Structures are given as C-alpha cells and as structure tokens.
Amino acid sequence: MAGLKVGSRGSIPAFMVMEVMRAAADREQAGDAVYHLEVGQPGTSAPKGVIEAAHRALDTDRIGYTVALGIPALRQAIAEHYRSQYGVTVPSSRIVVTTGSSGGFILSFLAAFDPGDRVALAAPGYPCYRHILNALDIVPVMMPAGAQDRFQPTPALLEQAMREGPIHGLIVASPSNPTGTMLDRAAFSELLDFCAQHSIRVISDEIYHGITYGMAATTAGELDPGAVVVNSFSKYFSMTGWRLGWLVVPEDLTRPVECLAQNLFISPPTLSQRAAVAAFDCHDELQANLRRYAANRDLLLRELPKAGFSDLAPSDGAFYIYADVGDRTNDSQEFCARILRETGVAITPGLDFDGERGHRTVRFSFAGTTEEVAAAAEALKRWR
C-alpha cells in the first residue's frame, strides 16, 4: 500500500541459482528436456533408515516442540559422530541442532558479531554468506582468492583485508561451494592459528564433510577451541528438505546461541530430529551415494574439456566443478541462459559466487544421477 514503509534488509540480491532453477522448471513445463547441473542437491532421497525412523515417530510421537538446542538423543549422536569420524571429543552440551545450516549461520552470526563488525570471506564463495551478513548489518569483506590460493582464504589475504580495517570474523568452507576445493590440514591449521593470534572468530562451514575425493576433511573444532562449526544433514546425509543442521559452538557462545534459538526458531523441526538420529547408522547407503558422486566427478573432469571447458578448479570435495569460461564469454549469466535454451543443460553463472569476477565463470553440479550427468556432457559436446 502506498506510503507504508518497506525495510531495507530485504533488498539483498536474489540467490541466482534459484533463478536458474525457475527457468529450468519453465522449460520442463513446456515439455522440453532439462539436465540439472545447476543445483547443489543430492539426487537421492534420505537414507531408508531415516525414512523408517520418521514413520515410527509419526506413529508414536505427538511431534510437538522440542527444547531449542535439539533433542538429547540427536545431540549425543552428533557428539559420537565427532568421536568416530574425527577422533575429537565434543560434549553434547556444545552441540546445537538448527533449522538447516541456514539457521545455523543466522544464529552464529548474531551470537558472534555486532552490527558494523567486519567479517572476511573468500570470493568465489557461497552467496548467502554475504547476503545474510548484509541483512544483519554486518559487513562482508570479500577477499579475491585465485587458483594460486586454491580459491581459499589465506593469512596473506587476511593481512591485506586488515589493512582496510579491523577484521572480526572469518568464514571458511572446506570443501567449498562453488569450487569444491579444500584446505589440507597444515594450511587449515596455519589459517586458524593466524586468526587466533589476531582475535578473529572463525565460522567454519563444514556442510560438505563426508563428500571428499582422496583428501580427508579436517574439522575446525579440533584445531580452534573458539571456532564455530556449521554442519548440515542436507548434503552427505541427503536430507535437504528436512531442513536440519547443527552447530558446534564454543563455551562462550553456548548460552547466547540458545537464547537466540529460543526466540527466533522455538525449536528445529521435530520430525526431522527424530528421524535424523538414525542417519548415523546408514553408512553403507551413504557411501554408495559418495561412490556415485565420484563417478559423476570423474565423468565431467574427463568430458568437460572435450566440450570446451578446460580451465577447471580442483574438485577436492563437495559435488561441484568451477570453470573459467573467460575465453568464451564475458557474461556468464547470458552464457548460462543460452546453454539452457539451446541444449537443456542448466548450470549456474559465477556471478552468484563472485560479484567481481563471476562474469567469466560457471559452476557445474554433479549431485544428480550418473545418467543425467552423462547426457548433459553429451549435449554440451554437441553444442560446442
């Protein structure tokens, strides 16, 4: 209505991959084939054990609110996961179950930072980091990382950012979206040591842990007692729509996060929590998913150069390949739209991940079926 105020926090950019998904859906509705290499969503459903646990919960539980930090059984299962997977002891009192990793980012940013604080992050990177920070009046400080940095933050990049003003926090993702690159243990330790020396709070996005190819992922929770770890059931556990994640928080943030969670979310989805306890017993099924991702990755790394995409970032983990297409276009958004229009292959323009250099990059997701990935590769080779 005319004259009513509209708040400025909603004026953040759209999440471009969602726009690509909408265009792909329009094409599908018109009856045309679409090969989905745009979205970072597993092509598999939740593990069978999770679905069975959900059915049992529906039959036996009234599915009411839970405590804000999550049900004890799930928090304990996550704690045991850190012991068995990483050899790290994390008390369940420091584990907070969240409404997806997105809810975890909101809680951690609010608990750790104040309006006007400056939080560094590498570009290219997941766009919602900076969009959420901007919506909360926290200042994202973009650090342009290149192939020489494996597209990851480094102490040198942080030092450069600190020349322009104080840095209060750092967001790091290993494996990373969109590049799939990882920090090895030595590089991660060096980065976290630098942050500790300069009182920089680290927020470690670990939602792609479990999906790696030849390199073990290191959790920040082992190396930095002040770090906040963000994880999710969406990727490795193949539970995107269940909207469930978790935080590992340091002692000084446990109570602030709890109070924020009580007021902002009441509690995470109860049915999802009940079901997710079973996720840690579904190892065989989840490892089969990982083998499929590995096969898809190998297929694209072999076939994309034949389609003219030869400048590829190392795909150490996650299910993405990031390509420099500067030799073919200076407008990745139009380039991706033309590929979708002319081949049916949906990929994501790099502008989603890097506002300065993303006009010459694109991201391929290989989270779907091997058949779809193979068909997309063939379509791209014909289009070339």
DSSP letter at 360? G
Q: What would the pLDDT profile of 228-264 be if each residue is shown by its tens digit?
A: 999 999 999 999 999 999 999 999 999 999 999 999 9
Residue 19 has a pLDDT of: 79
pLDDT for 174-223, tens place per residue? 999 999 999 999 999 999 999 999 999 999 999 999 999 999 999 999 99
Measure the CA–CA gap between 87 and 84, rounded to whole angstroms.
Answer: 6
Give the CATH number of domain 11-40+283-383; options: 3.50.50.60, 3.90.1150.10, 3.30.70.3450, 3.30.2350.10: 3.90.1150.10
On whether the CB atoms of residues 367 and 45 are closer than 8 A, the answer is no
- Which bin fits 151, alpha (ψ -120 to 50), beta or left (φ > 0)? left
Least-confidence region, from 7-11, 289-293, 347-351: 7-11
Helix residue spans in the chain (DSSP H): 16-29, 48-60, 72-86, 100-112, 127-135, 155-162, 185-197, 220-223, 251-264, 270-276, 283-303, 332-343, 370-383
Report the predicted TM-score, pTM, of the whole model to 2 decimal places. 0.94
Q: What is the DSSP string of 230-288?
A: EEESSSTT--GGG--EEEE--HHHHHHHHHHHHHHTSSS-HHHHHHHGGGGG-HHHHHH
Compute the distance between CA of residue 356 and CA of residue 332 in angstroms, rounded to an integer: 12
Q: How many CB atoms lie within 10 A of CB 31?
A: 6
Question: pLDDT (tens digit, 9 = 90+) per residue, 336-354?
Answer: 999 999 999 999 999 989 9
Distance CA 102, CA 63 (A): 22
Please identify, in words, the CATH class of the domain defined by 48-281.
alpha beta
Q: Please choose, from the candidates 294, 357, 348, 298, the residue with its C-alpha nearest in 3D space to the C-alpha of residue 326.
A: 357
Q: Whose structure tokens read 């994640």?
A: 245
What percentage of the chain reaches a pLDDT higher than 90? 89
27 — pLDDT class (breaks 50, 70, 90): confident
* Whole-angstrom distance, CA of residue 282 vs CA of residue 334: 42
- Residue that has been written with the tokens 């940095």 in this structure: 149
Q: Tokens at residue 98, please?
A: 């969240």
CB 39 within 8 A of CB 25: no
**Through-space distance between the first and last CA atoms of the chain, rounded to whole angstroms:** 50
Instruction: Report the alpha-carbon distance of residue 384 to residue 379 in Å, rounded.
Output: 9
Q: Compute φ and ψ for 215, nearest 5 degrees.
A: -130, 130
Q: Where are the domains of the chain?
A: 11-40+283-383, 48-281
Residue 196 confidence (pLDDT):
97
Tokens of 156: 């040198």
Residue 18 pLDDT > 80: no
The predicted structure's pLDDT at residue 352: 86
